[in-house]
């Protein structure tokens, strides 16, 4: 849960790349940059990130 699937990795000349699952929605950075993240939503996002990290380890 809360982890984006990585499909492929590689290099193209001097550039490294990875191909990931597309996640629909607004980037979290947009919400943070425009200060539109309520305390409640910030806690929800932090919880979701923590659950993803826990699942990965």
Specify the 3-state DSSP secondary structure of 15. strand
Domain ranges across the chain: 25-57
Please give the backbone phi and psi of residue 17, each rounded to the nearest 5 degrees, phi first.
Answer: -145, 160
Q: What is the pLDDT of residue 15?
A: 98
- Which pLDDT does position 31 carry in this prediction? 82
Q: Which residue has the higher pLDDT, 37 or 6?
A: 6
Q: What pLDDT, in 10s, does the model give residues 7-55?
A: 999 999 999 999 999 999 888 888 888 888 889 989 999 999 999 999 9
- pLDDT surpassing 80 at residue 1: no
Query: What was the pLDDT predicted at 54?
Result: 94
**Total-model pTM:** 0.67
Going by the DSSP 8-state scheme, the letter that residue 1 receives in this structure is: -
Decide: 2 and 52 in contact? Cβ < 8 Å: yes
**Token representation of residue 3:** 């982890």
């Amino acid at each position: 849960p809360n982890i984006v699937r990585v499909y492929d990795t590689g290099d193209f000349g001097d550039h490294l790349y990875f191909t990931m699952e597309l996640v629909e929605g607004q980037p979290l950075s947009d919400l943070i940059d425009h200060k539109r993240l309520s305390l409640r939503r910030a806690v929800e996002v932090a919880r979701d990130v923590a659950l993803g990290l826990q699942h990965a380890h």
